[in-house]
């Protein structure tokens, strides 16, 4: 045994011990699949072996699988939801005229049998013994003959037959840009069982939660199709199509009609792929020797845009590595496909016919999900703000980094979207299950924008450097796990020393808002008396900037009592005075400036705008 290996094992063992001592555990799902795709009728057949490890202390008497393609059938929950929600996703409806009125009609409603999606399970066995299964919508329920004991392993085998639906949402055939196969949520996938129990959520609209494990997948398809997806291609010099080593010239055996692509994806929680006959396939070296693959249509109008983002994605990956932590795989693929941009393990499926700026934004966002979802795998259906919001946060940081002119507040549009949501009166708490929002828009703003503001506003609370350290530590401690909201909060507390439980509860578990104001500025001899007031429910510390008539500036900082914390001066070139703390329950706060009122030009609360105050008018006071 090599010494380095021994050290690795000791470290791995120690990490396991640490995880166990804190009570954390997670299941493990290791898949082997063979699948054959019929590109003419979009039907596929395959077999699956799943080695499932129960690391919990529960005895499992049932297991659940997701059969996502079944959502794309008339009468499904997804179909019903499109028909009942007030603002259905534009991609999932046809606009039709009924008399004078324009009506949105579910695109799933009228799918014909050869256009729907389905996934049928046959021959289900546990350790070689046949079991009955029950399909309920998009979920397969299996009652086990032999329960899975705590800390034990079992092997499930099954055969499956599927049909790739007309592209409605995320996956499907012949997307609007002509990509033949966008293969996401395509295989029988065991549902996650974690400390909260089973997460056998029906596929209605929103995103996912998966079991960590590995995938060994062999895909047989007509030899003129080019594939991109999760996992490393094991037989690249037999397959070619741009995957072969540079010195290799691939010669296919005579009469080759199909190729079998063999992928292995280690330590992931999903497996997606796409295929088309007309992909250009570029490979660019990224940071740490990671191969960045770009697969896009050989369409003259888009080639230039894709070539433009290739070197930029090297920069963005480098930025994410430095901002969060090193991308842990050796490959990432940007694949034209799907219906917008969607993150998968080691790849994204994204539309590719848009403007250069548009695909840059999408590619930057989706790559960011490699950290916030595909390494830090929070439950997207319960805490979508943790993947969408945090990804949007690093996306805006990255875009600002590579932009020619830098914004003072790169998160401004997220704040504005959040303010509009509050104003609409349609906000629901971020603890809402992702499918349970009344409308799509409040879900999006709550997850993407308010989730982004969670971290941007944390900069206001504990300082930019502490947030930067928090992200790195969060990554280091929770990579390849399922972090929960408390984990990011505790990490920020450990890094900064501030008490932040109130922030997690007020910001993410309620629709409470922030409103502080300057109530009064009064002459007091040769001094000035200032009264601030808290109008909104959410507590906040106060950063105040005073601009004097002579052009000088001064800062005042009022710590929030319940944080037991004093933030460092965010820009030390301006003198800052730390005042006594402000306790939340006391609605007003008085302090004195040692200069006369006539010398003051302006007083501003939070000059950069990182505190999400919903009423900005009372945040500044100009002395007339």
Only one of the segments 12-20, 93-101, 107-115, 388-396 lies at the binding site for Zn ion (rule: CB under 5 A); that segment is: 388-396
Contacts with Zn ion, 463-502, as mask; x by CB under 5 A: ----------------------------------------
Nearer to Zn ion, 153 or 381 (CB): 381
Nearer to Zn ion, 450 or 567 (CB): 450
Q: Kindly give the pairing relationship between strand 273-276 and strand 181-183.
A: antiparallel
Q: What CA dihedral angle connects 532, 536, 538 and 542, to 10 degrees?
A: -20
Q: Which residues pair with 262 in a beta bridge?
A: 218
Contacts with Zn ion, 211-240, as mask; x by CB under 5 A: ------------------------------
Nearest distance from residue 90's CB to Zn ion, in Å?
Answer: 17
Nearest distance from residue 208's CB to Zn ion, in Å?
Answer: 12
Nearest distance from residue 104's CB to Zn ion, in Å?
Answer: 24
Only one of the segments 13-21, 128-136, 328-336, 384-392 lies at the binding site for Zn ion (rule: CB under 5 A); that segment is: 384-392
Nearer to Zn ion, 385 or 419 (CB): 385
Nearer to Zn ion, 201 or 388 (CB): 388
Q: Which two tokens stand for residue 55?
A: 């690391």
Nearest distance from residue 191's CB to Zn ion, in Å?
Answer: 22
Nearer to Zn ion, 29 or 363 (CB): 363
SS3 assignment, position 160: strand
Name every residue whose Cβ is closer than 8 Å to that of residue 323 and which is 6 or more positions away in sequence: 394, 397, 398, 468, 471, 472
Nearest distance from residue 414's CB to Zn ion, in Å?
Answer: 13
Residue with tokens 């603002």: 87
Nearer to Zn ion, 36 or 433 (CB): 433
Residues 546 and 556: beta-carbon distance below 8 Å: yes
Nearest distance from residue 475's CB to Zn ion, in Å?
Answer: 17
Q: 316-375: which residues touch Zn ion (CB under 5 A)?
A: none
Nearer to Zn ion, 76 or 373 (CB): 373
Q: Which two tokens stand for residue 61?
A: 């008497």
Nearest distance from residue 215's CB to Zn ion, in Å?
Answer: 22
Nearer to Zn ion, 378 or 528 (CB): 378
Nearest distance from residue 206's CB to Zn ion, in Å?
Answer: 12
Nearer to Zn ion, 328 or 361 (CB): 361
Whole-number Å distance between alpha carbons of 71 and 117: 7
Name every residue whose Cβ is closer than 8 Å to that of residue 376 and which is 6 or more positions away in sequence: 386, 390, 474, 475, 478, 479, 481, 483
Of 194, 388, 487, 547, the one binding Zn ion (CB under 5 A) is 388
Nearest distance from residue 448's CB to Zn ion, in Å?
Answer: 7
Whole-number Å distance between alpha carbons of 326 and 328: 6
Nearer to Zn ion, 124 or 332 (CB): 332
Q: Quick one: which of 475, 526, 505, 447 has its CA closest to 372?
A: 475
Only one of the segments 15-23, 383-391, 481-489, 562-570 lies at the binding site for Zn ion (rule: CB under 5 A); that segment is: 383-391
The packing angle between helices 501-509 and 450-462, to 10°, is 160
Between CA 165 and CA 270, with CA 191 as vertex, the angle to 5 degrees is 65
Only one of the segments 265-273, 380-388, 430-438, 538-546 lies at the binding site for Zn ion (rule: CB under 5 A); that segment is: 380-388
The packing angle between helices 390-402 and 356-368, to 10°, is 130
Whole-number Å distance between alpha carbons of 389 and 616: 23
Only one of the segments 203-211, 280-288, 382-390, 535-543 lies at the binding site for Zn ion (rule: CB under 5 A); that segment is: 382-390
Nearest distance from residue 365's CB to Zn ion, in Å?
Answer: 6
Whole-number Å distance between alpha carbons of 225 and 172: 16
- The DSSP secondary structure of 428-479, one letter per residue, reads --TTS-GGGSSSHHHHHIIIIIHHHHHHHHHHHHH-HHHHHHHHHHHHHHHT
Nearest distance from residue 389's CB to Zn ion, in Å?
Answer: 9
Nearest distance from residue 366's CB to Zn ion, in Å?
Answer: 7
Q: How many residues bind to Zn ion according to rule CB under 5 A?
A: 1
Name every residue whose Cβ is closer than 8 Å to that of residue 150 and which is 6 or more positions away in sequence: 54, 56, 57, 58, 59
Nearer to Zn ion, 238 or 388 (CB): 388
Nearer to Zn ion, 388 or 487 (CB): 388
Q: Which residue is closest to Zn ion by CB?
A: 388
Q: Which two tokens stand for residue 281?
A: 């396939």
Q: Quick one: which of 447, 404, 271, 393 has its CA closest to 343?
A: 271
Name every residue whose Cβ is closer than 8 Å to that of residue 350 and which is 6 or more positions away in sequence: 334, 335, 336, 337, 338, 340, 341, 342, 359, 362, 363, 366
Nearer to Zn ion, 167 or 348 (CB): 348
Q: What single DSSP character describes residue 109?
A: T
Nearest distance from residue 368's CB to Zn ion, in Å?
Answer: 8
Q: What single DSSP character describes residue 118?
A: E
Cβ neighbours around 438 below 10 Å, total: 13
SS3 assignment, position 289: helix
Nearest distance from residue 190's CB to Zn ion, in Å?
Answer: 24
Q: Kindly give the pairing relationship between strand 279-285 and strand 291-297.
A: antiparallel
Nearer to Zn ion, 180 or 375 (CB): 375
Only one of the segments 34-42, 387-395, 522-530, 536-544 lies at the binding site for Zn ion (rule: CB under 5 A); that segment is: 387-395
Residues lying near Zn ion in the complex (CB under 5 A)? 388
């Amino acid at each position: 045994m090599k010494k380095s290996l021994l050290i690795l094992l000791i470290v791995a063992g120690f990490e396991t011990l640490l995880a166990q001592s804190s009570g954390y555990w997670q299941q493990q799902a290791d898949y082997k699949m063979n699948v054959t795709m019929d590109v003419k009728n979009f039907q596929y057949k395959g077999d699956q072996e799943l080695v499932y490890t129960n690391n919990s202390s529960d005895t499992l008497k049932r297991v659940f699988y997701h059969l996502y393609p079944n959502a794309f059938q008339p009468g499904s929950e997804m179909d019903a939801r499109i028909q009942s929600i007030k603002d259905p996703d534009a991609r999932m409806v046809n606009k039709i005229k009924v008399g004078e009125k324009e009506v949105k009609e579910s695109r799933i409603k009228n799918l014909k049998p050869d256009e729907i999606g389905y996934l049928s399970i046959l021959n289900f066995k546990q350790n070689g013994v046949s079991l009955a299964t029950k399909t309920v919508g998009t979920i397969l329920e299996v009652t086990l003959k032999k329960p899975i004991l705590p800390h034990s392993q079992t092997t499930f085998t099954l055969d499956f037959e599927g049909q790739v639906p007309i592209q409605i949402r995320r996956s499907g055939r012949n997307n609007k840009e002509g990509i033949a196969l966008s293969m996401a949520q395509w295989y029988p996938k065991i549902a996650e069982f974690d400390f909260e129990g089973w997460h056998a959520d029906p596929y209605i609209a929103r995103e996912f939660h998966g079991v960590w494990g590995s995938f060994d997948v062999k895909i047989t398809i007509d030899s003129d199709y080019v594939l991109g997806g999760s996992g490393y291609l094991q037989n690249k010099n037999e397959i070619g199509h741009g995957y072969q080593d540079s010195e290799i010239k691939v010669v296919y055996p005579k009469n080759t009609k199909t190729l079998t692509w063999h992928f292995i994806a280690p330590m992931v929680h999903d497996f997606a792929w796409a295929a088309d006959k007309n992909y250009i396939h570029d490979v660019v070296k990224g940071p740490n020797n990671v191969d960045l693959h770009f697969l896009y249509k050989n369409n003259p109008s888009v080639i230039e845009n894709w070539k433009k983002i290739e070197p930029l994605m090297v920069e963005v990956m480098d930025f994410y590595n430095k901002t969060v932590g090193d991308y842990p795989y050796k490959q990432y693929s940007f694949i034209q496909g799907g219906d917008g941009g969607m993150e998968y393990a080691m790849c994204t499926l994204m539309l590719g016919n848009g403007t250069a700026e548009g695909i840059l934004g999408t590619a930057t966002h989706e790559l960011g999900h490699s950290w916030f979802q595909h390494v830090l795998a929070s439950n997207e259906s319960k805490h979508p703000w943790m993947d969408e919001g945090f990804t949007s946060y690093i996306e805006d940081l990255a875009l600002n980094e590579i932009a020619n002119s830098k914004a003072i507040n790169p998160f401004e549009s997220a704040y504005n979207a959040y303010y509009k949501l509050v104003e609409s009166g349609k906000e629901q708490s971020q603890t809402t299950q992702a499918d349970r929002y009344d409308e799509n828009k409040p879900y999006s703003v709550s997850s993407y924008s308010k989730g982004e503001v969670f971290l941007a506003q944390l900069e206001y609370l504990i300082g930019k450097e502490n947030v930067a350290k928090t992200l790195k530590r969060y990554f280091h401690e929770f990579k390849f796990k399922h972090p929960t909201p408390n984990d990011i909060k505790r990490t920020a507390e450990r890094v900064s020393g501030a008490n932040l439980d109130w922030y997690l509860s007020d910001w993410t578990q309620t629709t409470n808002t922030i409103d502080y104001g300057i109530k009064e500025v009064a002459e007091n001899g040769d001094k000035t008396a200032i009264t601030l007031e808290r109008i909104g429910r959410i507590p906040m510390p106060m950063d105040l900037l005073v601009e004097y008539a002579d052009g000088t500036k001064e800062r005042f900082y009022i710590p929030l009592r319940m944080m037991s914390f004093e933030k460092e001066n965010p820009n030390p070139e301006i003198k800052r005075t730390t005042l006594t703390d402000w306790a939340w329950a006391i609605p007003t706060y008085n302090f004195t400036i040692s200069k006369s009122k006539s010398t003051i030009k302006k007083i501003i609360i939070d000059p950069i705008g990182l505190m999400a105050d919903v009423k900005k008018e009372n945040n500044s006071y100009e002395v007339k």
